[in-house]
Chain A
Amino acid sequence: MSAWRRNAWLGVLGAALVLIAALGADALVALAARAYQRLPMLAPVFRLDHERQVRALHPVVAGLGGVALLAYALASRRSVAVWPRLLALRGDARERLRTSAAAAVVLYSILLVPIRATRDVLRERALTGLAEDARRLRLYGVHTLEPDYGPIEAFRRASGGKGSLLVARGGPRGSFDDVFVASYLFPQRVFVRTGSACTTDELPRFRAERPTAAWVEWACADGTFAPIPIEPR
């Protein structure tokens, strides 16, 4: 078998990468966006993040494709079989096939590493100079069920992180929203009071139930997160 045929995998890989790059950055962004049709919960932040990544990766894909095509041409012209040399293959046909399978997995994973690298580099570029809380605000909200952290951060600053927050809810159960709020505000404590009528008449009872609570957030209806102070006794 000629080296051109034995190295065909490298030629196909290079051609595929060049063809993908030839689609153009806009088409690749549209293709990546389709991935979120099946997982809309994770779309909001990742979609923007990935659009930047795809655009940054576009020349990398083209470059890799070009290098692979060049390597294919050079190696084949010199009658060098790339795959057996790359893997130092030995043993019978079945052993070589098994080693090739493991090698293909490694090679594939190596080709995906630039995705991670571009994500981290682009992200760092976007976050450079921001304080820790601002970095968090930029990165949180990956889940469509997450609340808007802007007002929660504003409350954290206004309260100075002092005094527990009581979230009064009308229904029989808490909401996962409360978990997001509690994990964001921790170590400031958040407690949930279900079955509330959400009127200020309840404040004395709340004060008795949660003596450390200094703030109350009426969460009986959908609205902006805006806790109010519980007046001192």
Chain B
Amino acid sequence: MIRPWSPLERTGVAVLGAVLLLMAWSIFRVPVVSVDGRTLWGLHARVLHDAGRYPAAELSDPGFPIPHRQYPPLLPLLDAIALHALPTDPALRLVPWLFYLAIAAFLFFELPRRDPERGRLLALAYALLPTLVLSEEGGADAGVADTVLAAWVAGAAFLLDAGRPLGAGLCAAVAALTKNEGLVLGTLLMASAYFRCGHGQRQVRPVMLAGAAFAVPLLPWLWLRAALPAGFDERYVSLLTLERLASGLERAPEVVVEMIRVAFLHPQRSGLFWWMVVMLWTTSSRRTASLLEGRLLILPAYMAILVALYVVSPWSGVTQVQLSFERLLLQVAPLALLGLTPPSGRPIIPV
């Protein structure tokens, strides 16, 4: 049974209300500041809106300077729809913000059911995350895709928990159509269906179903993407060679330390959020269940992949970590909260 609201929860919701009003006001008053918001997602959206079709001719024109022309099209597509009704800057900032609202509302609905003691606090911890509220480059109203991706990833995890592998696969596919990282996170999520999908445990069938639903919508997109020329792309997949990994190993410790600093030590970024995740997991009586059935294991697996990508990054030193890692953490923050609170009342692996 969900307990009565505590004074801190009431205060938190009131503050969140004020923050949402402030964000809404800012969205309609202040232009897009984020560099990625205006030169990447914004430019893609405006080109798409102007052309009225995807892919726009400019995407195939090597002379048109558009960054990451092979990026997935979902956010630009949604932005382009918003551009029909709104001026440029509010439209570009509004769409990702609506996804942030959706995640917050979903967590306020779902987490108290899973964890009556702390559910509301966990939802507040997400909704008031300093990166989301404060960051001009990666915040909820910055006009970038990480919150949109986080919504689809959380949706896929929730549907797996609910025993809906097909829906989960489709959600994961939409995640991959939102950001390239969605391909990695989607694959990890689909693999996690083996440990539990609804009530079922240790089954290959949900993995196959979810995997098929994940792959089918992506194939046309991957085929289409292959025809687009590269443009200011880091092309990480092609950089992931044994040779580059071996030569990049010497900066791996530096990369890992910087990732830890961004996650745990920078007060204006994740604040205390990831401290809380680690603390709640280590003091949980269902640690193993959280890792496997709660899919929390996806987080360290994803971090390991990110370390490999940062190590082969063409950016010098740890610059890329400093510029992007707080946003990458946002992609998995809702998933972490779902993982910490695997649904109760269902058979789980005993610790």
Contacts and interface: CB of A to CB of B under 8 A. Distances in A.
Residue among A112, A127, A190, A192 with the highest chain B CB neighbour number at 10 A: A112
A181 B64 CA distance: 11
A190 B66 CA distance: 10
A187 B52 CA distance: 13
B42 A109 contact: no
Interface residues of B, number: 60
Interface of B: 3-4, 6-8, 11-12, 15, 18-19, 22, 25-26, 29-31, 33, 35, 38-39, 42-43, 46-47, 50, 58, 61, 63-67, 89, 117-118, 121-122, 124-125, 128-130, 133-134, 136-137, 232, 267-268, 271-273, 275-276, 279-280, 283, 319, 322-323
Contacts of B7: 85-88
Contacts of B137: 42, 142
A39 interface: yes
Nearest to B43: A183
Contacts of A58: none
Given A117-B18, A139-B30, A183-B39, 19 more contacts: A90-B3, A97-B283, A99-B121, A105-B121, A106-B8, A107-B8, A109-B124, A110-B12, A113-B18, A113-B128, A116-B19, A120-B26, A127-B30, A142-B136, A176-B67, A179-B43, A191-B64, A192-B63, A192-B65
Interface of A: 38-39, 41-42, 46, 85-88, 90-91, 94-95, 97-99, 101-110, 112-113, 115-117, 119-120, 123-124, 127, 132, 135-136, 139-140, 142-143, 146, 167, 174, 176, 178-183, 186-187, 189-193, 210
Given A127-B30, A183-B39, A192-B65, A116 B133 contact: yes
A143 B319 CA distance: 13
A101 B279 contact: yes
Contacts of A187: 46, 50
A108 to B, nearest CB: 5
Contact of B124 (A95, A99, A106): A106
User: Majority SS of interface residues in chain B?
Assistant: helix
A124 B11 CA distance: 26
A180 to B, nearest CB: 6
Contact of A108 (B11, B271, B323): B271
A182 B64 contact: yes
A208 to B, nearest CB: 14
A110 B15 contact: yes
A102 B133 contact: no
B46 A41 contact: no
